[in-house]
Structure 1
Amino acid sequence: MDRAWVYLVTGCGFIGEKIVELLSQQDYIKEVRVFDSVAKGEVEKFTTGTENVLRACCVLNVPYVVYTSSVAAVGPNTSHEPMLRGNEDTIYSGEVELPYGKTKAMAEKLVFEANGKKMSNGGKLTTCIIRANTVYGEKATYLQELYLFAKARNSVLNYLEPENTERNYTYVGNVAWMHVLVARNLQLKPDLLAGQVYYSYDDTPTRKGFLIRHQLLSTMDPSVRLGSHIPYWKMWLMIQLHRMIKVILYPFWKPQPFLNLPLLNTIVTTFSYETDKASRHFGYKPLFTWEESKHRTAQWLKAVAGNLDTPQLHEKKN
């Protein structure tokens, strides 16, 4: 592969910005281009972004597509059945409930179907998928919000998930690095990577989300201490009460977004995986160690701690 490649990153948010940064450091890449929400007015007339990207690739003879998906596209399902340390081949049935997961599942289907599709020059489109999990690191706004919540409660960080609940966490730099390697090896080894899906992972030391969050925040501010588990029934009651008050007082009171029941059920359900597929297929190794990832995250949090806005809960961020 001695030609110089041009890469296009569609979306330059939390993960996308890090992908652009790492792509720009690769000497085999001629140019990195970004297509982001600044073009929103121009693309509002289109209904499905992923579908249009795939169609454009076939028309313009862009041969490779790496789609950034999420573990939310797989589960937990509407029955909230757990998956404990599965992998890319684990069979898990049922439909996801949260809108974010539904749209990711729909987009994944389009990407899988587009693999091998004929382009206008007679060549074939080659696609694969990376499923990110809970991603932390610089510019992870949910960490800002958690810090504000903790400081408002005398630096105590309480948590919703039971202590036996497992979820994977990955540093944003390692998620981005996996994208860089996948994009490169999709060109070098298309027969192996075409149509594949890869879960992101690194050496973040535990699948206990509340422990990871506490370590990240306490590294930045040692006064932050781990609190206690908030019982499911208590949060369920709070959600129902919030809904009732909102209905009664609408339109005179328009509260900030609050945790909903489908999201609560997702938080308390184990959905974890254990895999080395990316290592086996394209030699992936985390670019950043846990200590580096923790330090970088803490340094960023320190830098922005004085400019934090009022916290809000959002489905996608959680």
Structure 2
Amino acid sequence: MDKACVYLVTGGCGFIGEKIVELLSQQDYIKEVRVFDSVARKEVEKFTTATTRVTVMKGDIRDYNLLLAAMGGVHVVVHTAAVVDYRNILPFGEMRDVNVGGTENVLRACCARDVPYVVYTSSIAAVGPNTSHEPMCRGNEDTRYSGEVELPYGKTKAMAEKLVLEANGKKLSNGGKLVTCIIRANTVFGEKAAFLQELYVLAKARGSVLHYLEPQGSERNYTYVGNVAWMHVLAARNLQLKPALLAGQVYYSYDDTPTRKGFLIRHQLLSCMDPSVRLGSHIPYWKVWLMIQLHRIITIILYPFWKPQPFLNVPLLNTIVTTFSYETDKASRHFGYKPLFTWAESKHRTAQWLKAAAGNLEPPQLQGNKG
């Protein structure tokens, strides 16, 4: 195997992608980390080290020819580029074109350019909750869970997953085979997590009180972005070293975040940055549902004269209040994954970023990046 690999990270300027690029640049077996992103922030090249060069290329994964050009000489692709849209801001067709059509382009380009290894960044939303809002409590990668995924974003990720798994074992133009695996991220927190900045703005507007929507008994996994990225780094490396074991596998991301109660995690993160933030009370489902309907009616009546800020929708509300958690050590068993950052480190890093970002009182953009 080549001792000086070239990695391509699609969406490498995004929330998770940038952290993957940072950690990849610290690996001495990689000579270049090539970033392919529609945003193409040149400051990501600051991660260049004495042994690993980071280069940024501007391009949209919907453009097959640009992808083909970017993959020249590449050994491994980490495909993170996607539109992350839980609030249905974008038309479904556009999100599908990026998340599904773009993934198809990445896989086609790999086969044409003889790039044998692909790690795909998926989401727990690709699994559920389903339209019946059935819970999954501490399942694992083998847990059977059926029914139609409710969130449109989740539908696109499920469709893309299917493409990635079907591509595993496909012939390359040089006669080799494509080897793929999938990392399913969950609720990811850390530096540049837009939802935390938005929550802080909302809490301060309510007298430093952080209310919550999920029932106290509900569960959902939270993972620090650095640990999600580290799992990608290890999976990509071991996809090369142990392809027979990792080929066609799916891995849930996890770390030592101490609880699955989302409202407690959010409170700990925000109060670590600002001790005045205190945990409020549970907002009943029916009250939020009425607010959503009222917001929708007002928007219809006043459109196009007034376009309000994006608000919750019923599918997202149902996702928030439905237990959807897992418990697994599969990544540890298959490729020796251990969290790179402890909970204390993760919390501290997140708090430091929030302190620096607190001066920006404008709610951040909630729409994900395309790459």
Matched, 1:5 2:8: no
Matched, 1:132 2:185: yes
C-alpha distance in 1, partners of 2:119/2:336? Answer: 17
C-alpha distance in 2, partners of 1:235/1:315? Answer: 24
Which residue number corresponds to residue 307 of structure 2?
A: 254
C-alpha distance in 1, partners of 2:171/2:132? Answer: 39
Q: Write the letter of the residue equivalent to 1:8.
A: L
Which residue number corresponds to residue 286 of structure 1?
A: 339
Residue 40 of structure 1 and its aligned partner are, at CA, apart by: 4.7
**Equivalent residue for 2:296, pick from 215, 225, 243:** 243
Q: Write the letter of the residue equivalent to 1:17.
A: E
Provide structure 2 residue ranges, at least 5 long, that are not aligned to the other structure. 40-57, 66-96
Residue 246 of structure 1 and its aligned partner are, at CA, apart by: 1.4
Which residue number corresponds to residue 184 of structure 1?
A: 237
Q: Map 1:43-122; keep pairs closer than 5 Å.
A: 43=62, 47=97, 48-122=101-175
Q: CA, structure 1 residues 256+40, in 2 after alignment: closer, same or farther (shift >3 Å)?
A: farther
Residue 2 of structure 1 and its aligned partner are, at CA, apart by: 5.5
SS in 1 for 2:121: strand
SS in 1 for 2:27: coil
C-alpha distance in 1, partners of 2:216/2:294? Answer: 26
Matched, 1:264 2:264: no
Contact 1:202/1:286 (<8 A) preserved: yes
Matched, 1:15 2:68: no
Which residue number corresponds to residue 225 of structure 1?
A: 278
C-alpha distance in 2, partners of 1:17/1:315? Answer: 13
C-alpha distance in 1, partners of 2:233/2:158? Answer: 23
Matched, 1:150 2:150: no
Matched, 1:274 2:317: no
SS in 1 for 2:172: coil
C-alpha distance in 1, partners of 2:345/2:33? Answer: 26
Contact 2:245/2:334 (<8 A) preserved: yes
Which residue number corresponds to residue 33 of structure 2?
A: 32
Q: CA, structure 1 residues 264+183, in 2 after alignment: closer, same or farther (shift >3 Å)?
A: same
Contact 2:62/2:105 (<8 A) preserved: no
Q: Write the letter of the residue equivalent to 2:33.
A: V
Offset from partner CA, 1:6-32 (integer Å, 9 cap, x none): 100000200000000000000011111
Number of residues of Structure 1 aligned to a counterpart in Structure 2: 316
Contact 1:257/1:312 (<8 A) preserved: no
Provide structure 1 residue ranges, at least 5 long, that are not aligned to the other structure. none
**Equivalent residue for 2:358, pick from 271, 293, 305:** 305
**Which shifted more, 115-124 or 34-43?**
34-43
Q: Map 1:152-171; keep pairs closer than 5 Å.
A: 152-171=205-224
Residue 314 of structure 1 and its aligned partner are, at CA, apart by: 6.0
Residue 3 of structure 1 and its aligned partner are, at CA, apart by: 2.3
Residue 254 of structure 1 and its aligned partner are, at CA, apart by: 1.3
C-alpha distance in 2, partners of 1:221/1:120? Answer: 56
Residue 315 of structure 1 and its aligned partner are, at CA, apart by: 9.3
Offset from partner CA, 1:89-142 (integer Å, 9 cap, x none): 000001112111011001000000000000000000000000000000000011
SS in 1 for 2:170: coil
Q: Write the letter of the residue equivalent to 2:179.
A: T
When the two structures are superposed, what TM-score results if normalisation uses the length of structure 1?
A: 0.96
Contact 2:8/2:34 (<8 A) preserved: yes
Q: CA, structure 1 residues 76+11, in 2 after alignment: closer, same or farther (shift >3 Å)?
A: same
Q: Write the letter of the residue equivalent to 2:192.
A: K
C-alpha distance in 2, partners of 1:136/1:25? Answer: 22
Residue 310 of structure 1 and its aligned partner are, at CA, apart by: 3.3
Residue 43 of structure 1 and its aligned partner are, at CA, apart by: 4.2
Contact 1:257/1:314 (<8 A) preserved: no
Identical pairs, percent: 85
